[in-house]
């Protein structure tokens, strides 16, 4: 199949597919006579794997590491588990940061009503502090 079909089947845009190729994540198995990229069913599986990883917010470098690891079926998978675990720690941390931000924002929001003038705005006053 050509890139447009792969794009539709995978849900990745054509540009994204070419971008992943440039990043060394993903190759076309072939080129047609007219230099079009040609893919097969295993390309689709590989691309879905990448998409799944991206949906977990794994970086491209991390995905590359996962793919490397996958190529060594007899090695220990602890690096994979560590990666996921570290990611969970990071996400937890990020959530805490955002919760704090949300609190600050809600305090700000309650410092002003809409029918004031700029010079009396409670939000702007808090921002000045």
Based on the shown chain and the rule CB under 8 A, indicate whether residue 40 belongs to the binding site for a copy of itself: no
Structure tokens at 40: 């097969």
User: Does residue 47 contact residue 10 with C-beta atoms inside 8 Å?
Assistant: yes
Contacts (CB under 8 A) with a copy of itself, residues 84-103: 84-85, 87-88, 91-92, 94-95, 98-99, 101-102
Q: Which residues pair with 38 in a beta bridge?
A: 30
Q: What angle do CA 55, 13, 32 make, to 5 degrees?
A: 125
The CA dihedral of 76, 65, 55, 29, to the nearest 10 degrees, is -110
- Of 4-12, 88-96, 99-107, 119-127, the window that binds DNA (rule: CB under 7 A) is 4-12
Residues in the site for a copy of itself, rule: CB under 8 A?
45, 49, 52-53, 56-57, 66, 69-70, 72-78, 80-81, 84-85, 87-88, 91-92, 94-95, 98-99, 101-102, 104-106, 108-109, 112-121, 123-124, 127-129
């Amino acid at each position: 199949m050509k890139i447009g079909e792969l794009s539709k089947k995978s849900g990745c845009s054509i540009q994204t597919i070419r971008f992943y190729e440039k990043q060394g994540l993903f190759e076309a198995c072939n080129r047609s006579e007219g230099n079009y990229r040609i893919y097969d069913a295993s390309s689709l599986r590989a691309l879905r794997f990448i998409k799944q990883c991206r949906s977990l917010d794994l970086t491209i470098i991390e995905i590359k590491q996962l793919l490397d690891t996958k190529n060594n079926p007899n090695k220990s998978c602890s690096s994979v588990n560590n990666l996921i675990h570290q990611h969970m720690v990071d996400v937890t941390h990020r959530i805490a940061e955002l919760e704090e931000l949300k609190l600050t924002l809600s305090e700000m929001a309650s410092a002003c009503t809409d029918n004031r003038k700029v010079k009396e705005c409670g939000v702007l006053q808090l921002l000045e502090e």
